[in-house]
Structure 1
Amino acid sequence: MSHRSRLSGFISDCKTDDLDAAADFWAQALGCRIADRAAGDETAEYQMLGDTPGDLHIEVQKVEHPSRVHLDIEADDIDAEADRLQRLGARKIAFVKRWWVMEAPTGQRFCVVRMKYPERGAAPKTWD
Protein backbone atom coordinates (compact mmCIF):
# COMPACT_ATOMS: atom_id res chain seq x y z
CA MET A 1 0.00 0.00 0.00
CA SER A 2 1.38 3.40 -0.91
CA HIS A 3 1.72 6.35 1.45
CA ARG A 4 2.78 9.99 1.18
CA SER A 5 5.36 12.05 3.06
CA ARG A 6 7.31 15.30 2.95
CA LEU A 7 9.44 17.59 5.06
CA SER A 8 7.16 19.26 7.57
CA GLY A 9 9.55 21.64 9.30
CA PHE A 10 12.07 22.23 12.02
CA ILE A 11 11.86 22.17 15.79
CA SER A 12 14.34 23.98 18.00
CA ASP A 13 14.59 21.82 21.13
CA CYS A 14 15.59 24.16 23.96
CA LYS A 15 16.75 23.08 27.39
CA THR A 16 15.57 26.25 29.09
CA ASP A 17 13.46 27.58 31.93
CA ASP A 18 12.27 30.52 29.79
CA LEU A 19 10.48 29.23 26.70
CA ASP A 20 9.16 32.72 25.89
CA ALA A 21 12.70 34.10 25.63
CA ALA A 22 13.84 31.13 23.54
CA ALA A 23 10.91 31.50 21.14
CA ASP A 24 11.46 35.27 20.92
CA PHE A 25 15.11 34.67 19.99
CA TRP A 26 14.29 32.18 17.23
CA ALA A 27 11.43 34.28 15.86
CA GLN A 28 13.67 37.33 15.62
CA ALA A 29 16.66 35.36 14.31
CA LEU A 30 14.55 33.82 11.52
CA GLY A 31 12.52 36.95 10.75
CA CYS A 32 9.27 35.31 11.85
CA ARG A 33 6.62 36.07 14.44
CA ILE A 34 5.22 34.06 17.33
CA ALA A 35 2.00 32.62 15.92
CA ASP A 36 0.91 30.66 18.99
CA ARG A 37 2.57 30.86 22.42
CA ALA A 38 0.25 28.13 23.74
CA ALA A 39 0.68 25.61 20.90
CA GLY A 40 1.69 22.81 23.27
CA ASP A 41 -0.54 20.41 25.09
CA GLU A 42 -0.57 18.69 28.48
CA THR A 43 2.43 16.56 27.46
CA ALA A 44 4.68 19.10 25.69
CA GLU A 45 5.55 22.79 25.94
CA TYR A 46 6.18 24.48 22.62
CA GLN A 47 5.46 27.67 20.72
CA MET A 48 4.75 27.91 17.01
CA LEU A 49 6.29 30.49 14.71
CA GLY A 50 4.34 32.13 11.89
CA ASP A 51 5.23 33.86 8.62
CA THR A 52 7.89 31.20 8.08
CA PRO A 53 9.91 30.80 4.88
CA GLY A 54 8.19 28.45 2.44
CA ASP A 55 5.34 28.02 4.93
CA LEU A 56 7.53 25.57 6.91
CA HIS A 57 6.29 24.42 10.28
CA ILE A 58 8.75 25.82 12.85
CA GLU A 59 8.38 25.27 16.58
CA VAL A 60 10.41 26.12 19.65
CA GLN A 61 10.02 23.34 22.21
CA LYS A 62 11.04 23.09 25.86
CA VAL A 63 12.92 19.84 26.50
CA GLU A 64 14.92 18.07 29.21
CA HIS A 65 17.65 16.72 26.90
CA PRO A 66 20.49 18.91 25.54
CA SER A 67 19.40 21.65 23.12
CA ARG A 68 19.43 20.78 19.42
CA VAL A 69 17.47 21.34 16.23
CA HIS A 70 15.62 18.44 14.65
CA LEU A 71 13.40 18.11 11.62
CA ASP A 72 10.00 16.52 11.25
CA ILE A 73 8.86 14.42 8.30
CA GLU A 74 5.09 14.29 8.04
CA ALA A 75 3.27 11.32 6.56
CA ASP A 76 -0.27 10.12 6.06
CA ASP A 77 0.86 6.72 7.43
CA ILE A 78 3.57 7.23 10.04
CA ASP A 79 4.24 3.51 10.51
CA ALA A 80 4.76 2.96 6.76
CA GLU A 81 7.06 6.00 6.59
CA ALA A 82 9.07 4.89 9.64
CA ASP A 83 9.45 1.44 8.05
CA ARG A 84 10.56 3.00 4.73
CA LEU A 85 13.16 5.11 6.51
CA GLN A 86 14.30 2.09 8.51
CA ARG A 87 14.91 0.24 5.24
CA LEU A 88 17.12 3.18 4.21
CA GLY A 89 19.22 2.70 7.34
CA ALA A 90 17.47 4.82 9.98
CA ARG A 91 16.75 3.39 13.39
CA LYS A 92 13.48 3.59 15.31
CA ILE A 93 14.25 5.03 18.73
CA ALA A 94 10.77 5.23 20.28
CA PHE A 95 7.11 5.78 19.59
CA VAL A 96 6.23 8.85 21.67
CA LYS A 97 2.62 9.94 22.16
CA ARG A 98 1.68 10.00 18.43
CA TRP A 99 4.94 10.09 16.46
CA TRP A 100 8.10 8.08 15.81
CA VAL A 101 11.47 9.35 17.02
CA MET A 102 14.06 8.12 14.53
CA GLU A 103 17.82 8.31 14.16
CA ALA A 104 19.58 8.67 10.81
CA PRO A 105 22.54 6.38 10.06
CA THR A 106 24.73 9.44 10.71
CA GLY A 107 23.30 10.02 14.21
CA GLN A 108 20.84 12.91 13.74
CA ARG A 109 17.48 12.52 15.46
CA PHE A 110 14.25 13.36 13.64
CA CYS A 111 10.55 12.63 14.00
CA VAL A 112 7.90 11.13 11.76
CA VAL A 113 4.61 12.90 12.51
CA ARG A 114 1.06 12.76 11.16
CA MET A 115 0.34 14.92 8.13
CA LYS A 116 -2.01 17.73 9.13
CA TYR A 117 -2.55 19.82 5.99
CA PRO A 118 -1.73 17.83 2.84
CA GLU A 119 -3.20 20.57 0.65
CA ARG A 120 -0.75 23.21 1.94
CA GLY A 121 2.82 23.71 0.77
CA ALA A 122 4.74 21.39 -1.49
CA ALA A 123 2.95 18.29 -2.70
CA PRO A 124 3.81 15.18 -0.67
CA LYS A 125 5.87 12.46 -2.37
CA THR A 126 4.01 9.18 -2.93
CA TRP A 127 5.93 6.03 -1.95
CA ASP A 128 5.02 2.47 -2.93
Structure 2
Amino acid sequence: MLTVGSIVIRVDDLERQKVFWTAALGYVAREPHDPDFVLLKPPSGIGSNISLDKMRSKRVLPPRLHLDLYADDQAAEVARLEGLGAMRVEWSKRPPDADYIIMEDPEGNRFCVIDGR
Protein backbone atom coordinates (compact mmCIF):
# COMPACT_ATOMS: atom_id res chain seq x y z
CA MET A 1 0.00 0.00 0.00
CA LEU A 2 1.22 3.49 -0.83
CA THR A 3 0.34 6.78 0.84
CA VAL A 4 1.27 10.34 -0.08
CA GLY A 5 3.98 11.32 2.37
CA SER A 6 5.04 14.65 0.96
CA ILE A 7 4.22 16.97 -1.90
CA VAL A 8 7.35 18.76 -3.12
CA ILE A 9 7.24 22.38 -4.30
CA ARG A 10 10.26 23.85 -6.07
CA VAL A 11 11.12 27.33 -4.79
CA ASP A 12 13.68 30.09 -5.33
CA ASP A 13 13.54 31.76 -1.89
CA LEU A 14 13.35 28.92 0.64
CA GLU A 15 12.94 31.09 3.75
CA ARG A 16 10.22 33.28 2.25
CA GLN A 17 8.30 30.26 1.02
CA LYS A 18 8.73 28.51 4.37
CA VAL A 19 7.18 31.52 6.10
CA PHE A 20 4.30 31.63 3.59
CA TRP A 21 3.42 27.93 3.61
CA THR A 22 3.75 27.42 7.38
CA ALA A 23 1.42 30.39 7.94
CA ALA A 24 -0.94 29.37 5.13
CA LEU A 25 -1.37 25.79 6.31
CA GLY A 26 -0.58 26.05 10.02
CA TYR A 27 2.26 23.57 9.45
CA VAL A 28 5.56 23.45 11.32
CA ALA A 29 9.01 23.10 9.81
CA ARG A 30 11.12 20.13 10.77
CA GLU A 31 14.26 21.58 12.32
CA PRO A 32 17.05 21.76 11.70
CA HIS A 33 16.60 21.95 7.95
CA ASP A 34 19.08 22.02 5.11
CA PRO A 35 19.85 25.32 3.38
CA ASP A 36 18.19 23.93 0.22
CA PHE A 37 15.33 21.81 1.59
CA VAL A 38 12.74 21.98 4.34
CA LEU A 39 9.96 19.59 5.28
CA LEU A 40 6.73 21.15 6.56
CA LYS A 41 4.40 18.92 8.52
CA PRO A 42 0.99 19.16 10.15
CA PRO A 43 1.46 19.71 13.91
CA SER A 44 -0.87 16.77 14.63
CA GLY A 45 1.29 14.48 12.49
CA ILE A 46 -1.81 13.50 10.50
CA GLY A 47 -1.86 14.36 6.81
CA SER A 48 0.57 14.86 3.98
CA ASN A 49 3.73 16.89 4.37
CA ILE A 50 4.79 19.72 2.09
CA SER A 51 8.48 19.79 1.17
CA LEU A 52 10.12 22.92 -0.18
CA ASP A 53 13.07 22.27 -2.46
CA LYS A 54 15.29 25.23 -3.34
CA MET A 55 15.84 24.51 -7.00
CA ARG A 56 15.22 26.86 -9.87
CA SER A 57 12.82 25.37 -12.35
CA LYS A 58 11.00 26.64 -15.37
CA ARG A 59 7.46 27.78 -14.68
CA VAL A 60 4.88 26.06 -16.89
CA LEU A 61 1.34 27.36 -17.31
CA PRO A 62 -0.99 25.83 -16.74
CA PRO A 63 0.92 23.84 -14.12
CA ARG A 64 0.88 20.08 -14.39
CA LEU A 65 0.10 19.80 -10.67
CA HIS A 66 -1.44 22.08 -8.09
CA LEU A 67 -2.81 21.84 -4.56
CA ASP A 68 -6.53 21.99 -3.80
CA LEU A 69 -6.95 23.48 -0.32
CA TYR A 70 -10.41 23.03 1.21
CA ALA A 71 -11.80 25.85 3.34
CA ASP A 72 -14.80 26.06 5.67
CA ASP A 73 -14.91 29.83 5.03
CA GLN A 74 -13.52 30.35 1.53
CA ALA A 75 -13.76 34.16 1.48
CA ALA A 76 -11.98 34.50 4.82
CA GLU A 77 -9.22 32.09 3.80
CA VAL A 78 -8.67 33.81 0.45
CA ALA A 79 -8.38 37.17 2.22
CA ARG A 80 -5.99 35.69 4.80
CA LEU A 81 -3.82 34.13 2.10
CA GLU A 82 -3.74 37.43 0.19
CA GLY A 83 -2.52 39.04 3.42
CA LEU A 84 0.32 36.49 3.49
CA GLY A 85 1.37 37.39 -0.06
CA ALA A 86 -0.73 35.10 -2.26
CA MET A 87 -2.51 36.51 -5.31
CA ARG A 88 -5.71 35.55 -7.09
CA VAL A 89 -5.41 34.27 -10.65
CA GLU A 90 -8.12 35.31 -13.07
CA TRP A 91 -9.12 32.64 -15.59
CA SER A 92 -11.60 33.44 -18.34
CA LYS A 93 -12.89 29.84 -18.45
CA ARG A 94 -13.79 29.69 -14.74
CA PRO A 95 -17.53 28.94 -14.52
CA PRO A 96 -19.61 31.53 -12.63
CA ASP A 97 -20.73 28.87 -10.13
CA ALA A 98 -17.25 27.41 -9.55
CA ASP A 99 -16.52 26.31 -5.99
CA TYR A 100 -12.82 27.19 -6.33
CA ILE A 101 -10.65 30.29 -6.49
CA ILE A 102 -7.29 29.98 -8.24
CA MET A 103 -4.37 31.54 -6.39
CA GLU A 104 -0.57 31.74 -6.54
CA ASP A 105 1.92 31.74 -3.69
CA PRO A 106 4.50 34.58 -3.58
CA GLU A 107 6.61 32.78 -6.23
CA GLY A 108 3.77 31.97 -8.60
CA ASN A 109 3.11 28.33 -7.60
CA ARG A 110 -0.60 27.83 -8.19
CA PHE A 111 -3.17 26.34 -5.85
CA CYS A 112 -6.95 26.45 -5.50
CA VAL A 113 -9.00 27.35 -2.47
CA ILE A 114 -12.10 25.16 -2.58
CA ASP A 115 -15.35 25.98 -0.82
CA GLY A 116 -15.46 22.97 1.47
CA ARG A 117 -18.98 23.55 2.74
TM-score (norm 2): 0.41
Larger % of strand: which? 1
TM-score, with length taken from structure 1: 0.38
